[in-house]
């Protein structure tokens, strides 16, 4: 496993998006825990979760509790593992994803996440999504208070734009260390945010990084090769030539975009995260990268 910087920390260049282990279609707990252990065995040290990763109407925290149990039962050293969680979204019984950026809610949610994770302080806490009904500065102000209180060690943002990143940077300073936006072969609207993160030295954590190659857990079960359109053609072709999966090629393509990129692919099976982790050691050539870029679909 190769490593990258997140704030002052050193983490594996590929993380684990743990959401599929807790939402609709999730595996049983034994397989979920085995998947987390396989990630750790492969050198993954960034585990991404959120209080809202649970079944609709079930209440918050399933995924956080699952990760806490998986880490506690792991036989190896977990001192270098960074659990990044998020607050500010919910899963009501209708299956939707609500948004609540009220400062009081965020502070209470962070303290509840702290208890579920069983840690002295949350390593990285991220605002899951700006709330259009709450001034953004107030939501970010809650992160600053959590930092000052020692509830969280580092702060991040998710689903934000360039202006919001700049505003948060003014409020949080160098304690803002990451931005988690959607970015993949099929969805590249986050390029301005990626460029700003590279400029500011913030880690950029693409969620749903295999869009155009596999279906997101938000969209349902993973698709089969050839089901998602023209991006799959070139990524599959390069994968066949290199003797690896198109998913591994896609993650290596992301890693080549910038040294601040740390993709967090989801997984619900041990073999999936092992394959994804291998992308950290797959160095694509300049001709291969140019070929992949040329074969991308129109950006969403």
| Active site (catalytic) residues | 53
Could you give the CA distance from residue 167 to residue 165 in angstroms, rounded to a whole number?
5
Could you give the CA distance from residue 178 to residue 181 in angstroms, rounded to a whole number?
10
Q: How far apart are the first and last CA of the chain?
A: 31
Cβ atoms 266, 237 nearer than 8 A: no
Positive or negative CA dihedral for 287, 290, 295, 296? positive
Cβ atoms 51, 114 nearer than 8 A: no
Cβ atoms 148, 110 nearer than 8 A: no
Query: Which phi and psi angles does 258 have, rounded to 5°?
Result: -170, 150
Query: Which phi and psi angles does 241 have, rounded to 5°?
Result: -65, -35
Residues 6 or more apart whose CB falls under 8 angstroms from that of 105 comprise: 87, 88
């Amino acid at each position: 496993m190769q490593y990258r910087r997140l704030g002052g920390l050193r983490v594996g260049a590929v993380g684990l998006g743990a959401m599929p282990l807790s939402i609709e279609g999730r595996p049983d707990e034994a397989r979920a825990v085995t998947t987390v252990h396989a990630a750790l065995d492969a050198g993954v040290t960034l585990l991404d979760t959120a209080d809202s990763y649970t079944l609709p109407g079930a209440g918050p925290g399933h995924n956080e509790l699952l990760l806490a149990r998986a880490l506690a039962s792991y036989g190896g050293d977990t001192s270098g593992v960074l659990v990044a969680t998020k607050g500010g979204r919910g899963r009501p019984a209708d299956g939707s994803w609500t948004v609540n950026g009220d400062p009081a809610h965020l502070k209470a949610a962070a303290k509840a996440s702290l208890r579920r994770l069983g840690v002295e302080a949350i390593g990285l806490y991220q605002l899951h999504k700006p709330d259009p009904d709450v001034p953004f500065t107030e939501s970010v102000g809650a992160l600053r208070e959590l930092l000052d209180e020692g509830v969280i060690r580092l702060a991040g943002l998710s689903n934000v734009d360039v202006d919001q990143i700049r505003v948060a940077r003014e409020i949080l300073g160098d304690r803002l260390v990451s931005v988690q936006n959607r970015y993949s072969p099929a969805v590249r609207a986050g390029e301005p945010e990626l460029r700003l993160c590279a400029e500011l030295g913030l880690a950029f954590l693409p969620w749903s990084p295999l869009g155009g190659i596999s279906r997101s857990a938000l969209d349902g079960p993973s698709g089969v090769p050839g089901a998602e359109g023209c991006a799959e053609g070139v990524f599959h072709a390069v994968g066949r030539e290199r003797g690896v999966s198109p998913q591994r090629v896609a993650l290596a393509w992301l890693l080549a975009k910038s040294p601040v990129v740390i993709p967090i692919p989801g997984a619900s099976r041990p073999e999936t995260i092992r394959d994804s982790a291998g992308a950290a050691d797959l160095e694509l050539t300049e001709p291969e990268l140019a070929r992949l870029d040329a074969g991308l679909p129109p950006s969403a």
